[in-house]
A = this chain, B = another copy of it.
């Protein structure tokens, strides 16, 4: 009986919502019913946004970031330091850094990581454009901000090798203890990295 409880359109909404991260059956049901009670105007506007979502967004021709125009608002911003490039895996990382709000440089979005197991080589990610981009800069500095998985480390190493030869300053995010974490609950690898990357605080 369970699968005929909801009218088809409501069930369709539930099925869509369930595909989103962190949304279970119960939540999806509640959200679908709440969607039904929204103003029709609201629904039409949401539907229109969804209909044109893929068309209305493109990748920035400079950095590869999700953008409404050919050049994203970050690359187009005159106040951003174009010589400081933070290399990230995806758009979500850019949004994360922008939410923090302290970074004044620009980004380069790889839209993937090198993963030989999955047949993803350097040519399959947004990397060749980075090489060209850096060539045109006077005093480039690269910050590698990739995750600390096998794929992330492989990509970091690969990029490091390319630019090291060209005498370009490269750094990576520091590893260490997350703020507020209890030492005795930390995993061994993180603690080992924190020890290795220790920072001198004496004068």
Give the interface of A toward B (CB within 8 A). Answer: 1-2, 4-10, 12-13, 16, 19-23, 27, 29-31, 33-36, 38, 40, 42-54, 56-57, 66-68, 73, 91-92, 95, 98-99, 101
Contact = CB atoms under 8 A, between A and B. Distances in A.
A165 to B, nearest CB: 35
A69 to B, nearest CB: 9
Nearest to A13: B49
A30 B22 contact: yes
| Oligomer: number of copies | 2
A52 B6 CA distance: 16
Contacts of A95: 5-6, 29, 33
A114 to B, nearest CB: 20
A42 B19 CA distance: 11
A91 B20 contact: no
A176 to B, nearest CB: 23
Contacts of A2: 98-99, 101
Given A20-B35, A67-B7, A95-B5, A12 B45 contact: yes
Given A43-B53, A51-B47, A73-B4, A21 B34 contact: yes
Contacts of A51: 43-44, 47
Nearest to A102: B1
B99 A7 contact: no
Nearest to A97: B5
